[in-house]
């Protein structure tokens, strides 16, 4: 069924959750999702503007705004198409700063949730930044919009119209299908599954540089590292040997590091799953994400291989019950919500793999560590790194698989952590991942965290070189602040 013109459409459960978060901090950009491209060559601004309008005519979400009616959030589907925004910047640094500013600007969702900004830089260098609030898009949707934009631009320059097949479904169909699940007899069993996963788990606390503030600020930073090719190969081989996916292996390694840092033995990590089930919504622009809790139980003698097998079992169960929108559980807890924490989990893990059939999306995901380029419509396109989605959780670890590289991207809550602390944790994560790739039988509590260089540096400073970290919420930060909840030093 198609969307109605001049109408109000209900939101999905996930969209309602994002609306609630937006109401907590309406001037915040933590839920802005962006793809950036560096362009070399002459850009026809008028043709690009016409192409943007054509893409908006094709995808109703680009013509949608979000507001409240009768006390509930709704999507208005009667907006006009968004216009192309333009700007200029001085020098390459100015261009990068202007591109980042395009991401950092919050949306007035009543007026729309997408922006496309063309920024002219030095010579024939430009930047193109596609930004949307997460309530209206996801990584797949961003790739669709970017692909359709350049299809339309290329066709327009040649005096043609783009050859687009009509999308098989629209977002209103997805919301209706979700509602049908929630109104069906099987919803009780689905809900029981997720309550069994979540109930009784600890609120995990990583060692922090500062005390947790009474309310989340939704601001933060990003630290990233590219995995050496040899390490990535060892991880893939070890995952095959254990009969798990690389995603599950890397998730289990994250759970192991969280355990080592926090001493928590029973905790949740949120893992975003796509709700684009089947091909009906493969070409639909919208928010198709269900972030589900995955539980880790780690005892003193738990071997990494056991943890990975348990994570694989958890993910199999998650996929079998993915039609239930887990955001509904968080909504049920609204009356007991701690404004300082996310309601179900404070940590998330995801792995995003570039689609080889979507080269522009793959290019944007690869980032500037990659040397990949794509040529379209007389333009040489390269990736442009854009910090984004920072401060949503205490720590959100994303593994990006693009252009033959694995990249670990850690987004953190800046009210809690200094970048150096997160970078150290990321280094420990990669060291542990390499160690358990070589020996999956290692006990989680015995797997090394420090690499040889860090251990040597610790010894040079008079330390013991033991594989330890400070106690729960007890890391000494750059400014010398030390905060502890009294749980003491973890067993390592």
**Whose CA is closest to 113, among 100, 128, 129, 132?**
132
Query: What distance in Å separates the CA atoms of residue 98 and residue 104, rounded to the nearest whole number?
Result: 10
Query: What distance in Å separates the CA atoms of residue 69 and residue 86, rounded to the nearest whole number?
Result: 33
State the pLDDT at residue 331.
Answer: 62
Task: Spell out the residues 6+ positions from residue 348 whose beta carbon is closer than 8 angstroms to its own.
Answer: 269, 270, 271, 272, 291, 392, 393, 395, 396, 397
**8-175 shares its CATH topology with 186-354+390-460:** yes
Question: For the chain, which residues make up each domain, given as ranges?
Answer: 8-175, 186-354+390-460
- Looking at residue 71, the DSSP 8-state letter turns out to be T
Q: Give the SS3 label for residue 38.
A: strand
State the pLDDT at residue 330.
Answer: 73
**Class for the domain spanning 8-175:** alpha beta
Q: How far is CA 127 from each of CA 138, 254, 279, rounded to the nearest angstrom?
A: 21, 34, 32
Query: What distance in Å separates the CA atoms of residue 242 and residue 458, rounded to the nearest whole number?
Result: 34
Helix (H) or strand (E) holding 114: strand 114-120
State the pLDDT at residue 464.
Answer: 58
Low-confidence ranges of the chain (pLDDT < 70): 1-6, 331-337, 463-492
* Burial bucket for residue 277 (CB in 10 Å: 0-12, 13-18, 19+): middle
State the pLDDT at residue 5.
Answer: 52
- pLDDT tens digits, 87-96: 999 999 999 9
Query: What distance in Å separates the CA atoms of residue 184 and residue 485, rounded to the nearest whole number?
Result: 45
Let me know: does 314 contact 180? Beta carbons within 8 Å: no
Say how many residues make up the chain: 492
Measured in whole angstroms, the distance separating CA 113 from the mean position of its chain's CA atoms is 18
Which tokens is 276 given? Answer: 């684009």
186-354+390-460 is classed CATH 3.50.50.60: no
State the pLDDT at residue 457.
Answer: 81
Query: What distance in Å separates the CA atoms of residue 79 and residue 59, rounded to the nearest whole number?
Result: 12
Give the long-range contacts of residues 88-94, CB within 8 A, separation 24 or more. Answer: 88/119, 88/120, 88/121, 89/119, 89/120, 89/121, 89/127, 90/122, 91/121, 91/122, 92/121, 92/122, 92/125, 94/121
């Amino acid at each position: 069924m198609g969307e109605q013109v001049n109408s109000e459409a209900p939101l999905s459960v996930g969209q309602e959750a994002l609306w609630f978060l937006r109401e907590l901090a309406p001037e915040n950009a933590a839920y802005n999702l962006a793809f950036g491209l560096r362009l070399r060559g002459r850009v026809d601004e008028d043709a690009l503007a016409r192409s943007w309008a054509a893409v908006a005519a094709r995808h109703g979400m680009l013509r949608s705004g979000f507001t409240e009616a009768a006390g509930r959030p709704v999507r208005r589907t009667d907006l006009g198409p968004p216009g192309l925004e333009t700007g200029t910047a001085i020098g390459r640094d100015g261009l990068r700063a202007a591109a980042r500013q395009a991401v950092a600007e919050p949306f007035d969702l009543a007026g729309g949730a997408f922006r496309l900004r063309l920024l002219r830089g030095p010579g024939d260098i430009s930047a193109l930044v596609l930004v949307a609030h997460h309530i209206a898009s996801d990584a797949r949707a961003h790739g669709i919009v970017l692909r359709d934009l350049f299809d339309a631009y290329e066709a327009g320059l040649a005096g043609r119209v783009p050859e687009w097949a009509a999308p098989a479904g629209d977002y209103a169909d997805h919301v209706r299908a979700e509602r049908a699940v929630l109104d069906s007899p099987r919803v009780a069993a689905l809900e029981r599954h997720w309550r069994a996963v979540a109930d009784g788990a600890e609120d995990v606390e990583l060692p922090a540089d500062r005390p947790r503030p009474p309310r989340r600020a939704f601001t933060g930073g990003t630290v990233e590292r590219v995995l050496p090719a040899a390490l990535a190969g060892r991880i893939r081989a070890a995952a095959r040997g254990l009969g798990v996916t690389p995603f599950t292996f890397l998730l289990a390694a994250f759970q192991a590091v969280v355990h080592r840092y926090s001493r928590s033995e029973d905790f949740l990590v949120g893992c975003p799953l796509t709700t684009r089930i089947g091909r009906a919504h493969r070409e639909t622009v919208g928010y198709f994400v269900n972030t589900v809790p995955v539980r880790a139980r780690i005892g003193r003698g738990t071997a990494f291989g056991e943890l990975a097998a348990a994570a694989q079992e958890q993910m199999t169960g998650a996929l079998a019950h993915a039609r239930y929108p887990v955001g509904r559980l968080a909504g049920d807890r609204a009356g007991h919500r701690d404004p300082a924490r996310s309601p179900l989990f404070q940590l998330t893990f995801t792995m995003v793999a570039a689609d080889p059939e979507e080269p522009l999306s793959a290019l944007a995901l690869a980032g500037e560590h990659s040397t990949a380029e794509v040529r379209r419509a007389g333009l040489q396109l390269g990736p442009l790194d854009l910090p984004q989605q920072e401060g949503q959780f205490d720590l959100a670890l994303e593994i990006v698989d693009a252009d033959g590289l694995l990249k670990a991207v850690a987004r953190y809550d800046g009210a809690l952590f200094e970048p150096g602390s997160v970078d150290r944790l990321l280094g420990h994560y990669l060291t542990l991942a390499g160690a358990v790739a070589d020996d999956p039988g290692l006990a989680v509590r015995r797997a090394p965290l420090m690499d040889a260089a860090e251990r040597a540096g610790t010894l040079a400073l008079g330390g013991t070189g033991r594989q330890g970290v400070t106690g729960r919420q007890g890391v000494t930060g750059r400014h010398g602040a030390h905060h502890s909840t009294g749980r003491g030093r973890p067993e390592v």
